[in-house]
Amino acid sequence: MSTVSAGFRLMRAGWVLVREGVVAALPGEELSGLPKFGWRLARLFTRRRALAYERSDRLAKAVVRLGPSYVKLGQFLATRPDVVGNDMALDLAMLQDKMHTFPRAEAITAIEASLGRKVGDLYAQFGDPVAAASIAQVHAADTVHDGIATKVAVKVIRPGVRRRFFQDLESYFLAAHLQEKYIPSSRRLRPVEVTETLAQTTKVEMDLRLEAAALSELGENTRHDPGFRVPSVDWERTGRDVLTMEWVDGVKMNDIAGLATAGHDLKTIAANLIQSFLRHTLRDGFFHADMHPGNLFVEANGTIVAVDLGIAGRLGKKERRFLAEILYGFITRDYLRVAEVHFEAGYVPRQHNVAAFAQAIRAIGEPIHGQPAETISMAKLLTLLFEVTELFDMAARPELILLQKTMVVVEGVARTLDPAFNMWKTAEPVVGGWIAGNLGPRGMMIDARDGAKALLTLARQAPELAARTDRLSREIDLMAEHGLRFDETTARAIGKAEARYSRSGRLALWVIALTLVYIAWKLV
């Protein structure tokens, strides 16, 4: 029955996308056969008024109708241009996570259930909601310490949101399985694996204790940084369903007129934003991955305060070196070094030629050097680079794609503040400084120290590794002698799973077919 209900929810989502003109806005002229017929049919069923909107506006309206889980799905797919294409990824990245508020009484119930205390014991005053997103909403409140009142922001999980998300996830998994089964060309994109990643990130985002931990970590990393900070967390009033943090007084970064009226230097803010993001990425390997202007405030002294850290990105040391050397290589036009970094990091298979790869990278870099520096987009550069790497069998890496998506958004915010923003001039001190500190003599000493620690750890584990190797050798010998065997329980379970999967697929297809017949009959 869950498969049937998932099929109905999936059909409703498809119908909303058709009616709001999202399907009609896709480049269907390039299609042929049945897909092109479906695209033309979708255009006939599109609402007349929807045709007047841009594709991004159609997408936003459809997602609002579908509900909060589809907002998160859209934002997640914005990080996977390899799946939805670059143009659609940019449209999805612009989705604003704004929803209707839910009653204050429901928020109080959620807080008391999560923290096990009465709201009156936790807060001296608890106000109405001031902002609402797909997963949670924010209330203004006051706490009292030693007789001093402090204003705080209280983020509360939306009631029933987990149940709704898990129901919609069933639909996403059904769509992914059907796609893999009936569209062989899509299997390289691994839609089921993509859906599993979405499920995991959503579970993390719906536990506000983890967001509080991310705020705490980023706060420690940036406590000495000029012009950037995050709100402090009130851990006593934080649980799975509620996050209490410092109230931020400032102007939102999407209010350009408000920033100018407050007397802020927009060019300085743009430079500070980019340098802060690069500093977090390269120095710390931990960055805010949802830095759209609605999540960024500017305080009276010009300090940028980032909120809503439900989505965060991490880069290992290898990935940080990869990013820094790529950017610096393009700045200095050292395309061979950029290519070598890809091979050293193991991102491009060894069967490819380094010189040929460097030639492909030169095709990206040379046109850029012919442009004025203020028109060069680092985000566009990374997008073109990832397109070229696909030609050389570089597999999609989630951490780099999330970085690319965030850089697209951050650079877009900077150019909104300063249309003549020079990305390279702004980035060079941070990127160059990181390279000097980490790839020069000091970096070599750090690498040597880390290598010595790794060797010591390996030496300590040597007896256990030897025992494991001995057991593995004996098991391989037994397999070679007797063959690989399944026990009866395993074989029976495999048979049941295959039968259930086949029945579910056929049942879902029948439900879809009958629903389409019903819709066509109603329209006639």
**Interval 60-101: pLDDT, tens:** 778 778 877 777 777 767 666 656 666 676 666 666 556 788
CA 263 centroid distance within chain: 33
Nearest alpha carbon to residue 272 among 295, 250, 303, 313:
303
pLDDT at 53: 75
Element of type H or E holding 393: none
pLDDT at 161: 86
- Structure token pair of residue 341: 């970094």
The model carries a pTM of 0.73
Q: What does pLDDT average to over the chain?
A: 79
The domains found in the chain, sorted by start residue, are 3-97+164-203 (no CATH), 98-163+205-247 (3.30.200.20), 249-439 (no CATH)
Amino acid identity, residue 42?
A: A
* DSSP 8-state symbol, 233: B
Which residues are tagged catalytic? 290
Which residues of the chain fall short of a pLDDT of 50?
A: 1, 520, 522-524
Say if strands 304-306 and 228-229 run parallel, antiparallel, or are unpaired.
Answer: parallel
pLDDT at 374: 63
**How far is the C-alpha of 186 from the C-alpha of 501, rounded, in Å?**
19
Write the CA distances from 49 to 21, 31, 40, 41, 520, integer angstroms: 9, 25, 17, 17, 21
Work out the burial of residue 324: count CB atoms within 10 Å of its CB; fewer than 13 is exposed, 13-18 middle, 19 or more buried: buried
pLDDT at 122: 95
Which residues, 6 or more positions from 152, have their beta carbon under 8 angstroms from its beta carbon?
123, 140, 141, 142, 143, 234, 237, 244, 245, 246, 247
Secondary structure class of 465 (helix, strand, coil): helix
